[in-house]
Amino acid sequence: NAGVMQNPRHLVRRRGQEARLRCSPMKGHSHVYWYRQLPEEGLKFMVYLQKENIIDESGMPKERFSAEFPKEGPSILRIQQVVRGDSAAYFCASSNQGNTEAFFGQGTRLTVV
Amino acid sequence: GENVEQHPSTLSVQEGDSAVIKCTYSDSASNYFPWYKQELGKRPQLIIDIRSNVGEKKDQRIAVTLNKTAKHFSLHITETQPEDSAVYFCAASMGQGGSEKLVFGKGTKLTVNP
């Protein structure tokens, strides 16, 4: 079991470009969470997905951000028209239920230049 | 709203001393409370967790206590070592049945001085 896999580990984008972050949950896990972490700050909840469903997206900005978790393949967090303020570490976590241990991926560090 | 408050934000102790980090949560229906340790540049990793049907849980030098009435829980690290230095996050499960999510505190940066 390879654990939660995120790629890329580092991503550099120019302002206005799109960023696409991928997360493959642990085998057998159908719950995926995305969190954003700014330097020296905590983990801010963005979105919670189960296969083909968004369960809670209350932490995700209404514009430019979207997430999906298709029946096949990884979960994708997509940021359109990135701005400097989007620079952060984005962590994905997975679990087999909503209120059990969540395992984190290594994160994707997005830098917008 | 859904909120987890964590204190202190920074904590410095001498090697061998104990460290205590406290969290309060807003949703009385929360029933799962994990603690994560995050070393610089690495992913958060679970170190201990507790469920609402238990008041205390211990694992070697780490213990967690839960007071459901007061809606607070605490992490206790005894005999601290320099390798305990990291950022620690508490979390609480929030939401309706089948759609709970983990809401995290803002973290405590623990420094253990040798």
Q: What are B35-49's pLDDT values in tens digits?
A: 999 998 899 999 999
Q: A23 has which bridge partners?
A: A6, A75
The whole-angstrom separation of Cα A103 and Cα A93 is 5
- Residue A48: count of CB within 10 angstroms of its CB: 27
Tokens of A29: 């896990």
Tell me, yes or no, if A76 comes closer than 8 A to chain B by beta carbon. no
Query: Contact A100/B31, CB-based, under 8 Å?
Result: no
Measure in Å the smallest separation between the Cα of B35 and chain A Cα atoms.
Answer: 10
Tell me, yes or no, if A106 comes closer than 8 A to chain B by beta carbon. yes
Secondary structure element (H or E) that encloses residue A53, with its range: strand A53-56
CB A51 within 8 A of CB A30: yes
Measure in Å the smallest separation between the Cα of B23 and chain A Cα atoms.
Answer: 14
Measure in Å the smallest separation between the Cα of A46 and chain B Cα atoms.
Answer: 10
Contact list in B for residue A45 (CB cut-off 8 A) is 101-104
Which of the four pLDDT bands, split at 50, 70 and 90, describes residue B64?
A: very high
**CA nearest to B34, candidates B43, B23, B26, B42:** B23
**Closest alpha carbon within chain B to A5:** B43
CB A28 within 8 A of CB A88: no
Q: Which residues in B have their CB inside 8 Å of a CB on A?
A: 6, 31-32, 34, 36, 42-46, 49, 89, 93, 95, 98-107
Which of the four pLDDT bands, split at 50, 70 and 90, describes residue B96?
A: low
The whole-angstrom separation of Cα B112 and Cα B13 is 5
- Identify the pLDDT of residue B97: 60
- Identify the pLDDT of residue B41: 86
Secondary structure element (H or E) that encloses residue A9, with its range: none
Give the distance from CA A85 to its chain's centroid: 16
- Identify the pLDDT of residue B103: 87
In angstroms, what CA-CA distances link A24 with A46, A68, A90, A103, B44?
17, 12, 14, 11, 17
Tell me, yes or no, if A55 comes closer than 8 A to chain B by beta carbon. yes
Tabulate helix, strand, coil % of chain A (nearest 5).
Answer: 5, 50, 50
Question: What does R_g of chain A's alpha carbons equal in angstroms?
Answer: 13
Chunked mean pLDDT (size 10), chain A, 113 residues: 89 98 93 90 89 90 95 95 96 83 94 97
Of A61-65, B17-21, B91-95, B109-113, the range with the lowest mean pLDDT is: B91-95
Of A80-94, B12-26, B45-59, B89-103, the range with the lowest mean pLDDT is: B89-103
